[in-house]
Amino acid sequence: AQTVTQSQPEMSVQEAETVTLSCTYDTSESDYYLFWYKQPPSRQMILVIRQEAYKQQNATENRFSVNFQKAAKSFSLKISDSQLGDAAMYFCAYSGGGADGLTFGKGTHLIIQP
């Protein structure tokens, strides 16, 4: 079974600074996909960024980028120029080649200090 581990229950960063959230995963599959989701207090999960395992290039979406290290099974999220609206729970998630649902990590609570 696949597992996703987020070792940082909580992170704090000053507004406009850069923060990196860590995620590691375990899988025996070669074809898989990784995601970062944001969950604000409204509870609605929002997709931040996704990465296909077969792509060597790290995904980027505006201020959000990932550092995907396939051999190390590591998938960290970097948020640049942090904004107050970035405050939320962030979940790392895994999907294999099938149609099953996502496997999530326990989440990291990101606090933005004004």
Binding residue for other proteins, selected from 8, 11, 24, 33, defined by CB under 8 A:
33
Closest CB 99 distance from other proteins, rounded Å:
4
SS3 of residue 85 by DSSP: helix
Q: Which of 1, 9, 57, 100 binds other proteins (CB under 8 A)?
A: 100
Q: Which residues of 2-11 are buried (b: 16+ CB within 10 A; e: fewer)?
A: eebebebeeb
Tokens representing 96 are 């294999």
Can residue 101 be called a binding residue for other proteins (CB under 8 A)?
yes
Position among 81, 106, 111, 113 found at the interface with other proteins (CB under 8 A): 106
By CB under 8 A, tell whether 91 contacts other proteins: yes
Chain center to CA of 94: 10
Give the DSSP letter of residue 56.
Answer: -
The residue (of 2 and 13) whose beta carbon lies closer to other proteins is 2
Find, among 53, 25, 50, 33, the residue nearest to 96 by Cα: 33
What residues make contact with other proteins under the rule CB under 8 A?
A: 32-33, 35, 42-47, 50, 52, 91, 95, 97-107
